Every structure is written in C-alpha cells, then in structure tokens.
Chains A and B, each alone.
Chain A
Amino acid sequence: MKQLLGVALGILTAIGGFLDIGDLVTSSVVGSRFGMTLVWVIVLGVIGICVFAQMSGRVAAISGRATFEIVRERLGARMAVANLGASFLINLLTLTAEIGGVALALQLASSIEPTLWVPVAAFAVWLVIWRVKFSIMENVTGLLGLCLIVFAVAVFLLQPDWATLTGQAIAPSVPATETGATYWYYAIALFGSAMTPYEVFFFSSGAVEEKWTKKDLTQSRINVLVGFPLGGILSIAIAACATIVLLPQGIQVTSLSQVALPVAEAGGKLAVAIVIVGMIAATFGATLETTLSSGYTIAQFFGWSWGKFRRPVKAARFHLVMIICLLVGIAVLATGADPVMITEYSVVFSAIALPLTYLPILLVANDKQYMGDLVNGRATNAVALVFLVIILVASLAAIPLMIITGAGA
C-alpha cells in the first residue's frame, strides 16, 4: 500500500511539475496563432523527454552518480565544457524566465507590478533551497501544480467544436494567416520547451539526492512514462483553450494574463483563482529546479561537493553558484526585460543546445563500465537515435528561422 502511494505521489508530482513558464507561454502563443496544428510537436517532445529522462534517471540509479559527473569523466574535459557551456547558459536564461514567470503569476493574484515581485520570488527560492527538504520541496510544488488541470476542465466547459479541434491536430497545415517559416519556428520553440535541458539534469541529480538504487527503477519509469505524458496533455489543453477562445478573436498571446482569459471564460472566478495557484506553483517549482540545476551542472563539472542532502556548509560552492545565478536573474529582470520575451528566446535557445545535452547522455547510458548489464537496449537506442536526428535538425534550423521570421513576429 505504501509503495502504491509512493507511485501515485510520484506520478502526480511528475504531472504537476511538468509545466513551466515556457510551456504555459509557448503552448498558449501557438494555440492563439496556429490553432491545434502544432499539437504533434508537443506529442513528439513528450516522447523525447520520456526517452532521455528515464535514461538519465537509470544512469543515476545504477551508478549512484549524476549524469554530468560521468559526462566529464567519460568524455573528457573538452566535450564536457561544450556540454556545460550550452547547458549552463540555457539554464541561466530559463532560470531568469522562470523568476519572471513567478513575478507575472503573482501580479495576476495581486495587481502589483512584477518588477517588485522579482526579488521577493528569488529570495523565497533561495530560502526554500536552503531550508526545505528536497522531497517536500518537490512534492508540494508538484501537487499544487496540479491546479493547472483546470485548463483541461476548461476545454470541456467551453464546449468546442471537437471535430474542428481534432481535425486540426490530426491533419496539421500552416494557417492562411501565417507563413511556413513562422510555423516551423514555433514548432522548434514548442519542441525546445518540452525538451528543456534542465529537466534531465534535475531528474538525474534528483535521483542522486533521493538516493535511488536499482530497486527504484520501476517506480522512476512509471513516474516518467505516466506522469510526463499526462503533463503533456495539460500542455495540449492550454493550446486548446487559446485555440477556442483567443484565436477566433484575433488575440495573439504576448502576456501571461492572456493565458488565463480562456479559463475565466470557461469557469469564472473560481477557475481563475485555481489557475493562478497552479501558475505560481508551476513557475516557482521550475525556478527551484533551474536554480538547483545551475548548481548541479557547475559543481558536478568541477567535482565540487554538491546536493541538498548535504548541509549547506558542506557544499558551500554549490550554494554560492545558485545564489549568484539568482542574482544574475534578478539583475536581468531589473533592466525591465520582458519575462515573456525571455521565455520565448529561452525555449528556442534550448532547442539549439539540445544536441550537446542529449548526445552525452546517450553515450553514457551505453557505457558498460558505468551501467553494467543495464545499458540501453536496442529499441531504446533506436528511438534515441531517431530523436537525436530530430534534435540536430531542430538545432540547425533554429537560428536561420529565428532570423528569417524576426523571432516569430
């Protein structure tokens, strides 16, 4: 019974923790401009993140070490520097976007300017990382993030024309009002938001924090293979809400407040209150994850002592890196930079950096020295290789498309 509860809790937190500011904004932007025609990208991204997250979780559970530690040892400093550079910079950009996301969500609850919320949000993140146990932190934000299920409920309350919605999703085409280049630019943004690199680093380092062993592999697989796809359904629901309410009125999403409007239309004030709680939890949870990921990547690369399972005094440099990253995020947002714009850039730059993140994971997961008999099977490798090709194409196409479309304008 206890084990069953553990599995259920794992799945629920995986669903609630799946979405972040990138998913909230990108799914809504895409729904308001392209309808359901890009839903296939969300499905593709979710399959991709499932493949690589369970791979990095397995590496951590079997070797007892986080992926990044092994990458440096196994592939050498040069490859690891490329991996570190790409992952860390994207992570920092994502962290900045997430802090901005928390501030924007708090503005929806309070009407107070987000600039004033930014330092408060960053301080709260630091405090939680400093004081709260890893499992409590993960479970609370994940469970509160489940409030975003209200998007799925809203889709039904809005009573859409299901035939049109499913028709757009099943037989996608570029809408008449958009160009092919913009369509593919947003396809890459959506793919980048689903496969954000910090997710695998956090997943793998989290496995070490929670002291996973071989015995935990089944539960970790269930969490990923059930929780993430259900989280992906929420992403699709956000796009559907925007498709049903915003697209027909010619509203193109440029702010978080617009993301909440379809929910208000569907369920009124109560639904709005629930969705705001969900948005705060999702962005706050993602800020915790990206902050920790910043510390993980740097500390693991340099071989410093790391982890929340250690007292801060025993992992001082790990904590210092996180504090510096939070301060950088605050500084960037203090310039008046639009968090939504930062989010849009962060998901596209994520897509650009994906090969440098995922190729090393695949190599390590095939190394018998670390994995013993539990190296990737043929089927996993085949799927992973297909994804590496997609990742490479998306990475190469992202910059030209960004320039051609003026960043999706």
Chain B
Amino acid sequence: MKKILTSIILITAIQLSTTAQTLTGQAFLQQTVMGVQQGFGLRIQNQKGWGLGLVHQANMKSAAERAGEKYPFYGIEALVPLTKCGNMRFLFTPKAGLVNEQFFIIMPEVETEIKISDTFSAGITAGIRARQSATGIKVLIHL
C-alpha cells in the first residue's frame, strides 16, 4: 500500500513538473459515515489535470454517538486525470493523511470537475471512508 501511494505521488510530481501549473483553492462538503465534514485545500495542477494538494477536513458538528469527536483530517491528495469531456474533467483523487493527529488513513476518491468560468469550477466527489461511501460537493477557485 505504501509503495502504491508513493508511486502515485511520484508519478504525479513528475507529470506536474513537466508543464505549466496553476494554483487552485478548494472548499468542500462531504457526507461520510462520521457525519457531514467540511474542508478546504490548496492544490497545484497542470493543464492536463495532474496535481498534488494539501487538504484539511473535519466534522461540522460532533458525531452523534460521541461528544467532541470531529475526526479532523490533515493530509495530501494526488490528482490523476482519467478522462475529459467538454467542460467536465474526471480525476482519481486519493487522499492520505492523519485523522485525530494519530491515525493514518487512505481515502480513495474520484472527482468530476465542471468548469463554470476561467476562475471557478464546481466538483462532485465519490469516495470511500471507513469502508462506507462518501459523497461530496466542492467549489474550486483557480488563483
């Protein structure tokens, strides 16, 4: 698993370094098995869609069963382009990082990015968190 993750990050970094890059900020909401999480991040991406990013997300309110548990996640994401169709781009966006500053997790995710204007895009995500589906929406601002 460690090797797969390292390979994805390395390939992405190599792809990223070969062409011009853009910086993109993102804010998102994700429905997970722990509850609705809000998050934000910063990603660097080339024109083909390859990229790397930093992500933070946490529950908007404490999980129902446990007071105070917000499952904060800090991690990195890799952006691997899958296909493009008009204004839409499909990406594989696995995330890896620490939850509660202690527990390492990997979240496989796919993202559909819809270009609204040169500055703004919207995104829809589908992923897996704790063996359950996690769906989300996001706003991307190309800086």
- A pairs with B: no
Interface residues of chain A, those whose CB is within 8 Å of chain B, are: none
